[in-house]
Amino acid sequence: MKPSMIRTAIRNGGVFEISYAGALASDESARRNWWSGAREIARATKGKGILLSGGAQAICDLRAPMDAVNLVSVLGLNQNTARNAMSTDAKSLITRASTRQTYRAVLSAPVLIDAPTEAHTTPTVDSTPTPPAPGNSSKRVRESEDVVAHTSDAGTSEPSEPPQARPPKRSKGRGAKA
């Protein structure tokens, strides 16, 4: 592993997982390989971007969190970095993964709503199409005259106009003075 590639991966949000189950293996060569690989990852990452997991196949392979922290501290990481590899870094990884699945990294908060009753009605929208402008048959005319009727809880209908869209801000360019 090249350290420059590892630093680039960490800078881009990559995380390296170290499963401590390999250190508890019964095979001596498997334990030796785990120690050399884990030490190399700890050295190359300098403790950043490491996720510590159990990877236990049996119940007897599970360890207490501080036992795992002590095991990783033998690799050359300090206690706080090893503790963060189990808690803070893992939580931030899950949060980052969940924000990648949403629009513009906004966490979704589902809201439960009650089923509509007979007293409530749905808002109506005038669905008549606007005729195209003369001489420009391929473009649609802006529908600023449409009025949407919203129904309040009292059952009265209040007409309101849809909000007008603002034109996009223009940048002054690279060499323009403010």
Instruction: Give the whole-angstrom CA distance, residue 9 versus residue 13.
Output: 6
DSSP run (H or E) holding 5: helix 3-11
36-40, 89-93, 170-174: the lowest-pLDDT one = 170-174
pLDDT at 94 over 50: yes
Interhelix angle for 88-100 vs 79-86, to 10°?
40
Of 168 and 32, more confident: 32
7-16: per-residue pLDDT in tens?
888 888 888 8
Q: Tell me whether residue 121 is in a domain.
A: no
**pLDDT value of residue 132:** 55
Question: Who's near 139: CB < 8 A, 6+ residues apart?
Answer: 132, 133
pLDDT at 67 over 80: yes
pTM over 0.85: no
Q: Tell me whether residue 58 is in a domain.
A: yes
**Mean per-residue pLDDT over the chain, rounded:** 73
Of 86 and 118, more confident: 86
Which of 178, 177, 147, 152 lies closest to 162, judged by CA? 147
102-146: per-residue pLDDT in tens?
666 666 666 777 777 766 555 555 555 555 555 555 555 454 444
Q: Tell me whether residue 116 is in a domain.
A: no
For the chain, the farthest-separated pair of C-alpha atoms sits apart, in whole angstroms, at 84
What value does the CA radius of gyration of the chain take, rounded to a whole number of Å? 30
Q: Kindly state the tokens that stand for 70.
A: 């002590």
Q: Tell me whether residue 65 is in a domain.
A: yes
Burial 124-158 (b: 16+ CB within 10 A, else e): eeeeeeeeeeeeeeeeeeeeeeeeeeeeeeeeeee
The enclosing domain of 21 has a CATH number of 3.20.20.140
CA 43 vs. chain centroid, Å, equals 28
**pLDDT value of residue 32:** 92
Q: Tell me whether residue 84 is in a domain.
A: yes
Q: Tell me whether residue 111 is in a domain.
A: no
DSSP run (H or E) holding 10: helix 3-11
Number of folded domains that form the chain: 1
Q: Tell me whether residue 154 is in a domain.
A: no
For 95, the domain range is: 3-100
Which of 75, 52, 51 lies closest to 64, judged by CA? 52
Q: Tell me whether residue 164 is in a domain.
A: no
